[in-house]
Amino acid sequence: MRRILWITGALLVLFLLVMQTRRPNFDLPKVHAAAGFDATMHPSQQISDTLHQSCYSCHSTQAEIPWYGHVWPASHLLQKDVRRGRARLDFSNWSNLSPEMSRIRLLNACQMMRESKMPLWYYRPLHPGATLQPEQVDAFCNWAQSLPAAAQTASLR
């Protein structure tokens, strides 16, 4: 019985060591600063700081990978979250969005923040600084709602 446990333990350790060699690719393409959210939308410093603090790690090319993001299986889960987050909302390539789509994305982000769906529940315990305060959410939502609607942006062209 001891021999079986020892062999099982050795195989488990070997498996974990082999899995550490599979590194996810966090090398995100660099985007010109003029294409980013701050340069395109010109939010207030408060809004910009809030987004950088709570959103940019998953929703931009400025992802800051923590130490556990380099250890399997967390590295693969983190890579999947970053890719999924950037597919839904990418602050680095904001200039690719039309004014209408930009407003839609921001209002959707507001709704996700108000419903406490963002940041993700499992992200918050490891990044307590990313948790949004109600006044931060209100400030962001008020700013997003003050942007011109689709009919108004069409008349600006």
**pLDDT over 90 for what percent of the chain?**
34
In this prediction, residue 34 carries a pLDDT of 74
pLDDT above 90 (res 135): yes
In this prediction, residue 153 carries a pLDDT of 46
| Domain ranges across the chain | 2-156
Task: Give the whole-angstrom CA distance, residue 141 versus residue 111.
Answer: 8
pTM, entire model: 0.76
Q: Are 63 and 27 in contact (CB under 8 A)?
A: no
84: helix, coil or strand?
helix
Measured distance between the N- and C-terminal CA atoms of the chain, rounded to whole angstroms: 77
In this prediction, residue 123 carries a pLDDT of 84
In this prediction, residue 9 carries a pLDDT of 84
Task: Give the whole-angstrom CA distance, residue 60 versus residue 30.
Answer: 10
Which long-range contacts (C-beta less than 8 Å, at least 24 apart) are formed by 81-90? 81/120, 81/123, 82/26, 82/28, 82/57, 82/58, 85/58, 85/59, 86/28, 86/58, 86/59, 86/60, 86/61, 88/59, 89/55, 89/59, 90/59, 90/60
Task: Give the whole-angstrom CA distance, residue 54 versus residue 61.
Answer: 14
| pLDDT tens digits, one per residue of 33-44 | 677 899 889 999
The stretch 78-107 carries a mean pLDDT of: 90
Instruction: Say how many C-beta atoms besides its own lie within 10 A of residue 72's C-beta.
Output: 17
In this prediction, residue 151 carries a pLDDT of 47
